[in-house]
Amino acid sequence: MISTLKMNTQINSFRILLLVALTSLSSFQLLAQQKGEPFEGIDQTWQNGSDRRDSLPFKNMKIFSPSILVDVNYNYSFNNPIDNTVVGSTAMARHNEIQLAALHFGGDFNYNNTRARIMTQFGTRSTVIPRNDYSTFKGQYNLPDVYRYLSEAYAGYHFNKLHGINIDAGLFMSYVGLNSFYQAENWEYQASFTSDNTPWFFNGVRCQIFINKNWKVEPWIINGWQSYGKFNSMPGVGGNITYMSSNSHVKALTNNYYGTDDAGFAHRTRFHSDNSLLVRYFNRPGKKGVNKMAFSLTGDFGFEKGDGVNGLKSDAVKGPAQYFASIMFYNRMWFAKNKMAWTFGGGWMDNPGRYLVLYPTGQASPLPNPNNPTQTAGAFPFSANPGDKFIGWDVSTNLDLMPSDNLTFRTELVYRNADVPYFAGRGGVTSQTGYSTTPLDPTWRPDLVKSETRLIFALLYRL
């Protein structure tokens, strides 16, 4: 009886959100023709998580505008793990090696108001990003391989109303956590815990409504929280509201999400709110010395409730608290006529239950691979039980050299810390020799430590 009531409540909530979105869209269609472009005349090139290019080389191509991004990194952990494996990051996969982190190519199609965007995804991030998606274990077909080499793939229609309305379906980028999936758009390379533990992509339907040049409202209906498939019977619902000031100095946004995203817990619901403020407080373009300065501040808050956990407060009957609270702050200064920039900042995260914590690499799979008995993936799982504590914090600073809008050379120093052993220590997370083919010593365990200091060198190209 209670389960049926909960399910009906979830279905009714979904219907209400869908009805509101469709009613709003119908109302907007009665208005005048499109009055301008989205965020027309507003400079977004300084914003964390946005394209920094002043001009687009293929802007005048009518039907197809190609795009290519290349992300190469070398990073060194002072823990120096013997298996060269990076733990707890979506930006990096290997230590003390030159790695192609990402190669994206594709572009945008536009014809008679129809639109599509396709971007491929090759490199280490195609393995790193989807590793915590347990929706792929529900049912048949190998969903990670189906979608792994696509970062964006959606199609839709553009309505010439207000300042533009887009309806798209497919695989599209998330804004939760502020940072862009594409490193060339971010102020820092290793994202703080707030961004690194929140979604990079969604699979579903979105409606972008640009009310005027300052405001965007965007509802979503998606499979789930960075998931290729759906965990339970209810889809995820949510949306984004973005404001940009006419003088280009302020951007504010909120993203909110509700869904059921725990495998095996059909009545456990998740709510998440992500909120960011970006302010450009100094701007003197084309001058010698400092050209501009800006900061970004992001705060996230959410919880899970039901099926053994109780959201914000522990309860003897309903279960322990299970929530997510985090904050991150970055300040950036551009100088030498915007050819160089210096960024510093960091963040903090508290996630009891660890439901959003990236599982340490090599321990993410729920079961060992039966085809390779020496493979350690899943053999020593990182605990993520109700009540398990996790608090992490990080600080970083970097220097960017940007000889053109298309190329960035970045040097970054990062320190990360957790209250439980989490990062790869000298012994690594693979085997006593560092190779996955080595028969395991029965006494061997992954070497996890509470902190790491990492030096990163990256080359970021975009055309």
The model's pLDDT over 327-360, given as tens digits with 9 standing for 90+, comes to 999 999 999 999 999 999 999 999 999 999 998 8
Q: Which residue has the higher pLDDT, 230 or 54?
A: 230
With cut-offs at 50, 70 and 90, classify the pLDDT of residue 401.
Answer: very high
Q: Which residue has the higher pLDDT, 57 or 368?
A: 57
* Residue where the block lists tokens 């070398």: 74
Cα–Cα distance measured from residue 146 to residue 278, given in angstroms and rounded to the nearest whole number: 36
Query: Average pLDDT of 129-144?
Result: 83
- Report the percent of the chain where pLDDT is more than 90: 75
- The pLDDT, as a whole number, for residue 377 is 60
Nearest to 195 by CA among 226, 241, 231: 226
Please say if the pLDDT value at position 366 is more than 70. no
With cut-offs at 50, 70 and 90, classify the pLDDT of residue 414.
Answer: very high
- The pLDDT, as a whole number, for residue 428 is 93
- The pLDDT, as a whole number, for residue 449 is 97
Please say if the pLDDT value at position 28 is more than 50. no
Length of the chain: 463
With cut-offs at 50, 70 and 90, classify the pLDDT of residue 31.
Answer: very low
Return the domain boundaries, the chain.
2-462
Please say if the pLDDT value at position 21 is more than 80. no
Please say if the pLDDT value at position 162 is more than 90. yes
Cα–Cα distance measured from residue 233 to residue 295, given in angstroms and rounded to the nearest whole number: 41
The burial class, CB within 10 Å (0-12 / 13-18 / 19+), for 373 is: exposed
Q: How far is CA 446 from CA 67, 175, 377, in A?
A: 40, 34, 11
Please say if the pLDDT value at position 368 is more than 80. no
Say which range, 1-10, 78-87, 197-206, 268-277, has the weakest mean pLDDT: 1-10
Beta-carbon count within 10 A of 331 CB: 15
Query: Average pLDDT of 102-127?
Result: 96
On average, the pLDDT of the chain sits at 89
Structure tokens that stand for 358 in this block:
């990236």
- The pLDDT, as a whole number, for residue 27 is 45
Please say if the pLDDT value at position 52 is more than 50. yes
Query: Average pLDDT of 130-137?
Result: 81
Please say if the pLDDT value at position 416 is more than 60. yes
With cut-offs at 50, 70 and 90, classify the pLDDT of residue 384.
Answer: confident
Please say if the pLDDT value at position 193 is more than 90. yes
The model's pLDDT over 204-228, given as tens digits with 9 standing for 90+, comes to 999 999 999 999 999 999 999 999 9
Domain 2-462 CATH (choose: 2.40.30.10, 3.40.1050.10, 2.40.160.10, 2.60.40.10): 2.40.160.10
Instruction: Encode the chain in three state secondary structure.
Output: CHHHHHHHHHHHHHHHHHHHHHHHHHHHHCCCECCCCCCCCCCCCCCCCCCCCCCCCCCCCCCEEEEEEEEEEEEEECCCCCCCECCCCCCCCECCCEEEEEEEEEEEEEECCEEEEEEECECCHHHHHHHHCHHHHCCCCCHHHHHCCEEEEEEEEEECECCCEEEEEEEEECCCCCCCCCHHHCCCCCCCHHHHCCCCEEEEEEEEEECCCCEEEEEEEECCCCCCCCCCCCCEEEEEEEEECCCCCEEEEEEEEEECCCCCCCCCEEEEEEEEEEEEEEECCCCCCEEEEEEEEEEEEEEEEECCEECCCCECCCECCCEEEEEEEEEEEEECCCCEEEEEEEEEEECCCCCCCCCCCCCCCCCCCCCCCCCCCCCCCCCCCCCCCCEEEEEEEEEEEEEECCEEEEEEEEEEEECCCCEECCCCCCCCCCCCCCCCCCCCCCCEECEEEEEEEEEEEEC
Structure tokens that stand for 15 in this block:
């219907």
